[in-house]
Amino acid sequence: MTGSPRTPATSTLGFALLGLLARGEQSGYDLTQGLKDPVGYFWFARHSQVYPELARLEAAGLVQHTLVEQADRPDKKVYRLTGEGGAALTAWLAADTEVPRKRDELVLKAYSIWLSEPAASARMMRKHAQVHAAHLAEFETRLACLEREAGAALWQLDSKWFGVHAALRRGIGYEREYRDWCEWMAGCLEGEGVSRR
């Protein structure tokens, strides 16, 4: 009993998958879909990354799969969390989290925008404002749905809906701020800001 079974350091993607599996067993395909929405607002991956990661998690004893044969569809592997997997997940939750440094090409362009055609840049900013406004609207709709369906569970700290709620709130704030910045930029570029106000 000297030393644990040598878990070779699970990646963040691994914990994302464990977090999804903590809500119920799923196949690799389902997990890939789940990584679009709502986890996908802040983490995502393609199936080509998910399948090998699941194999690694299983080798580390954090998940297990059962083969489910299906008549009209391809057979699938349904994964579930093991006790060790649950423990690894809560240990990760308690561990320190790095503040991420972001890369954002649009803001990088803004830094060089003084070299560009203002009208063209304004159009680009308006387009991005629209995209973020659309994201915002979608998140707000989802939150409204959630309020109807989950009700008070949205606010219960030990409910899985609280997690969705938390992430959605972050998404809403982020998209609102991004939209406002794009619109402010567009306004400046269209001439409003030239003479200080």
Q: What is the 3-state secondary structure (H, E, C) of 107-135?
A: HHHHHCHHHCCHHHHHHHHHHHHHHHHHH
Query: Measured from the CB atom, is 9 or 95 closer to DNA?
Result: 9
Is 30 one of the binding residues for DNA (CB under 7 A)? yes
Is 47 one of the binding residues for DNA (CB under 7 A)? yes
Query: Measured from the CB atom, is 73 or 148 closer to its own copies?
Result: 148
Tokens of 79: 């994964």
Is 144 one of the binding residues for its own copies (CB under 8 A)? no
The residue within the footprint of DNA, chosen from 46, 102, 148, 197 (CB under 7 A), is 46
Is 101 one of the binding residues for DNA (CB under 7 A)? yes
Q: Tell me which DSSP letter residue 196 carries.
A: -
Tokens of 54: 């699941």
The CA distances from residue 17 to 62, 63, 74, in Å, are 11, 10, 22
Tokens of 11: 């990646």
DSSP bridge partners of 78: 27, 66
DSSP bridge partners of 26: 79
The residue within the footprint of its own copies, chosen from 90, 137, 145, 149 (CB under 8 A), is 90
Query: Measured from the CB atom, is 60 or 125 closer to its own copies?
Result: 125
Query: Measured from the CB atom, is 56 or 165 closer to DNA?
Result: 56
The residue within the footprint of DNA, chosen from 29, 161, 162, 174 (CB under 7 A), is 29
DSSP states of 35-59 as a string? TTTTGGGT----HHHHHHHHHHHHH
Question: Residue 76 binds which entry of DNA, its own copies, none, with Cβ cut-offs from 5 to 8 Å by kind?
Answer: DNA
Is 66 one of the binding residues for DNA (CB under 7 A)? no
- Identify the sign of the CA torsion 82, 88, 92, 94: positive
- Point out which residues bind DNA (CB under 7 A): 9, 11-13, 27-30, 32-33, 44-49, 51-52, 54-55, 70, 72-77, 101, 103
